[in-house]
């Protein structure tokens, strides 16, 4: 060759079969026998196969880069069918074993068929390789295109000052993963994140999506505080923080005990539904503060929202995200602050919920406070279900009858009655006085309240069921002492009754019972108010006239009807009552209930009014220290009333020693505190005749 290398062309002449190999020093020799091939007769079948072989070989030339047109020409110049097959296989870039297989086929027709199959297989291999190559190339091109576009986007964002957006998306994705949301919520969060990526960062819609994701991420989907199940510890905390309220404390301890048993004895997924407790009673009786103590005793977070004056349903359920400035409701917002899914949740002043054109919040609360459906509370803003069943809801109300019926039906009411004097004294000593001493910068050695001083504060400077005003008056005394100590006029002070009068001025509330009841026609009634029980004076007087009945004192329709029914009973039963037949013809009766600016109404003043009327008509005084409550019928039956517990407590507070009440209210004795019953005689009556015998 031109480059001095050597080249040899070797061509096979015919097939041989090796009989025996003989090894020489540098190469093999062998004994062989010639294999004779049968001469192939020309036929249509062979011609067709050769044509087919030639065509398929031409197809291979178009695909295989190692073949050329010259080889096709070489193939077409060969006349022997067997040699065409041999030459075609020799051109192929295939496995030596496959070539050897063709070489060993003696029958020409079979050899041509095998050659066609081999070439077809090679064509398929090459086509598949090209397809794979093409797909890989497309993928690379796509990746390169995406990379290029991303680089362009980064450059654009950098110019616009949005280079941190990509990092923000990455952080959000990590936060969504860490939030451990339920599967459905996680899917929605990721969908919103992908949607957010397509929104320009300067668009208002971007901010809406971002705020929504932040809310989903920050909610405590799986975070909950572990309950402290120590019953004795809970008892100690409740007793330490609150004096009295025995029934309320017992109910809380029962709940803890049931929860403990269920936790120990039930299956994993069997969760105790928390009760919905409603604390009903006058202001200042400790409804809100005991909620904090319950949270402390159970080891849970405490959350409180006030519902007083709430008129918009969206305050509870949230706003739709279509509105500008939309936010979740106060339930979800409070849970976000609490950072646990099982806090003690107090809904204050539930009886003061309003309603207007923006919806009915009390209806929205039905889902929140129903243990059968609050496991899937759906806030309008979030539009995903949140489980509220682990929360212990506590509601407070001053007037239970103002709570809508369906809402009240879902709650267990615990009554907070007013405190009696002895309880207020203990509450003052244990809680109010130490708190006010600390808040006014005083030391315990500088101020000391005597028991009689505390009692004077309670009796003569406050008149309430709770202890809120009492705390204010204690604070008032502490301020006076702090002022005197700062001025240097005293070093310490003992708050005796004399000092109370000196610091607080003249007595505000006088006990009028002894004074008023000296004359005929004055009866003491017992009333129920939203602020606890109270006593009510009912005065009757007669004057010359024509049998008219005059009523004053801003009375409601029910009390007016009670007075008319009482007057009708007296006129009907004049003989039984030892009155003249025409006793009313020359006189007018005037019924007055003092404190005329205060509206008064309710079905419990009947026996008090009839007693006052008979007292003035017969000119007989009513027995001292006697209070009464009960409605009457025209037949003289004494009808049952409500709120006997509150009325009895108010009577005890006012110094009344004897109460007359309807016979059907005897069942309510259990609710009246033992301390009240100890100092109070309660007589239950069935008709007016018994009332008259007891009172006049």
* C-alpha–C-alpha distance, residues 410 and 10, integer Å: 104
Cα distances (Å, whole numbers) of residue 48 to 40, 90, 119, 158, 328: 14, 21, 16, 70, 82
Task: Kindly provide the b/e burial profile for residues 214-226, where b requires at least 16 CB atoms within 10 angstroms of the residue's own CB.
Answer: ebbbebbbeebbe
**Whether residue 647 lies in the annotated active site:** yes
* Residues written for the chain: 696
How large is the C-alpha radius of gyration of the chain?
A: 51
As beta bridge partners, residue 541 has 590
Placement of tokens 């997924």 in the chain = 269
- Counting other chains too, the contacts that 541-545 makes at CB distance below 8 Å and 24 or more residues apart are 541/589, 541/590, 541/592, 541/616, 542/587, 542/588, 542/589, 542/590, 542/616, 542/617, 543/587, 543/588, 543/590, 544/586, 544/587, 544/588, 545/586, 545/587, 545/588
CA atoms of 380 and 377, how far apart (whole Å): 10
CA 454, 455, 459, 465 dihedral sign is positive
Annotated catalytic residue, options 225, 604, 615, 695: 604
What six digits make up the tokens of 491? 């070093």
Q: Specify the 3-state DSSP secondary structure of 150.
A: helix
Cα separation, 15 vs 394, whole angstroms: 104
Q: Is 486 a catalytic residue?
A: no
Q: Of residues 49, 542, 645, 647, which has the active-site annotation?
A: 647
Contact 657, 683 (CB under 8 A): no
Query: What tokens were used for 565?
Result: 């029914």
Contact 412, 400 (CB under 8 A): no
Enzyme catalytic residues: 604, 647
């Amino acid at each position: 060759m031109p480059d001095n290398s050597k080249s040899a062309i070797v061509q096979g002449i015919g097939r041989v079969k090796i009989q025996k190999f003989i090894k020489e020093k540098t190469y093999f020799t062998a004994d062989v026998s010639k294999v004779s091939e049968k001469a192939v007769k020309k036929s249509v079948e062979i011609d067709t196969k050769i044509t087919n072989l030639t065509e398929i070989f031409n197809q291979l030339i178009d695909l295989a880069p190692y073949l050329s047109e010259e080889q096709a020409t070489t193939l077409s110049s060969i006349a022997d069918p067997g040699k065409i097959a041999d030459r075609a296989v020799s051109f192929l870039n295939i496995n030596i074993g496959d070539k050897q297989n063709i070489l060993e086929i003696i029958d020409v027709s079979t050899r041509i068929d095998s050659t066609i199959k081999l070439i077809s297989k090679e064509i398929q291999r090459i086509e598949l390789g090209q397809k794979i190559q093409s797909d890989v190339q497309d993928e690379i091109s796509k990746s390169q295109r995406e990379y290029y576009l991303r680089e362009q986007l980064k450059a654009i964002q950098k110019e616009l000052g949005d280079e941190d957006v990509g990092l923000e998306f990455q952080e959000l994705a990590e936060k969504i993963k860490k939030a451990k949301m339920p599967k459905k919520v996680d899917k929605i969060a990721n969908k919103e994140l992908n949607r957010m990526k397509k929104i320009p960062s300067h668009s208002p819609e971007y901010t809406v999506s971002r705020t929504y994701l932040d809310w989903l991420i920050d909610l405590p989907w799986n975070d909950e505080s572990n309950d402290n199940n120590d019953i004795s510890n809970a008892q100690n905390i409740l007793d330490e923080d609150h004096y009295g309220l025995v029934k309320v404390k017992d109910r809380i301890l029962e709940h803890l005990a049931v929860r403990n048993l269920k936790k120990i004895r039930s299956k994993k997924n069997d969760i105790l539904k928390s009760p919905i407790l409603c604390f009903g009673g006058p202001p200042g009786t400790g409804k809100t503060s005991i909620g904090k103590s319950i949270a402390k005793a159970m080891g849970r977070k405490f959350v409180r929202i006030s519902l007083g004056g709430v008129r918009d349903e969206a305050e509870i359920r949230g706003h739709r995200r279509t509105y500008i400035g939309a936010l979740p409701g106060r339930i979800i917002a409070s849970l976000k602050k609490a950072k646990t899914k099982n806090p003690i949740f107090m809904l204050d002043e539930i009886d003061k919920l309003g309603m207007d054109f923006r919806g009915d919040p009390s209806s929205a609360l039905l889902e929140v406070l129903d243990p059968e459906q609050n496991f899937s509370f759906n806030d309008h803003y979030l539009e995903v279900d949140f489980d509220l069943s682990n929360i212990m809801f506590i509601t407070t109300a001053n007037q239970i009858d103002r709570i809508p019926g369906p809402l009240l039906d879902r709650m267990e009411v615990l009554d907070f009655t007013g405190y009696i004097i002895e309880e207020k004294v203990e509450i003052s000593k244990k809680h109010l006085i130490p708190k006010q001493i600390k808040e006014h910068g005083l030391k315990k050695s500088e101020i000391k309240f005597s028991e009689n001083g505390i009692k004077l504060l309670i009796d003569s400077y406050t008149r309430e069921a709770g202890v809120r005003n009492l705390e204010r008056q204690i604070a008032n005394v502490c301020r006076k002492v702090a002022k005197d100590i700062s001025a240097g006029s005293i070093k310490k002070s003992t708050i005796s009754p004399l000092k109370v009068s000196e610091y607080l001025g003249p007595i505000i509330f006088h006990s009028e019972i002894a004074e008023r009841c000296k004359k005929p026609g004055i009866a003491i009634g017992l009333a129920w108010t939203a602020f606890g029980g109270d006593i009510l004076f009912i005065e009757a007087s007669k004057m010359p006239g024509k049998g008219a009945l005059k009523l004053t004192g801003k009375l409601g329709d029910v009390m007016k009807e009670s007075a008319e029914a009482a007057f009708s009973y007296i006129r009907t039963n004049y003989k039984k009552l030892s009155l003249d037949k025409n006793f009313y013809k020359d006189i007018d009766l005037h019924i007055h209930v003092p404190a005329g600016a205060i509206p008064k109404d309710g079905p419990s003043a009947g026996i008090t009014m009839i007693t006052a009327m008979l007292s003035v008509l017969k000119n007989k005084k009513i027995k001292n220290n006697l209070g009464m409550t009960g409605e009457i019928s025209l037949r003289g039956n004494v009808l049952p009333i409500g709120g006997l517990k509150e009325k009895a407590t108010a009577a005890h507070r006012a110094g009344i020693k004897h109460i007359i009440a309807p016979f059907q209210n005897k069942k309510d004795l259990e609710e009246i505190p033992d301390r009240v019953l100890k100092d109070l005689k309660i007589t239950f009556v069935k008709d007016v005749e018994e009332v008259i015998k007891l009172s006049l």
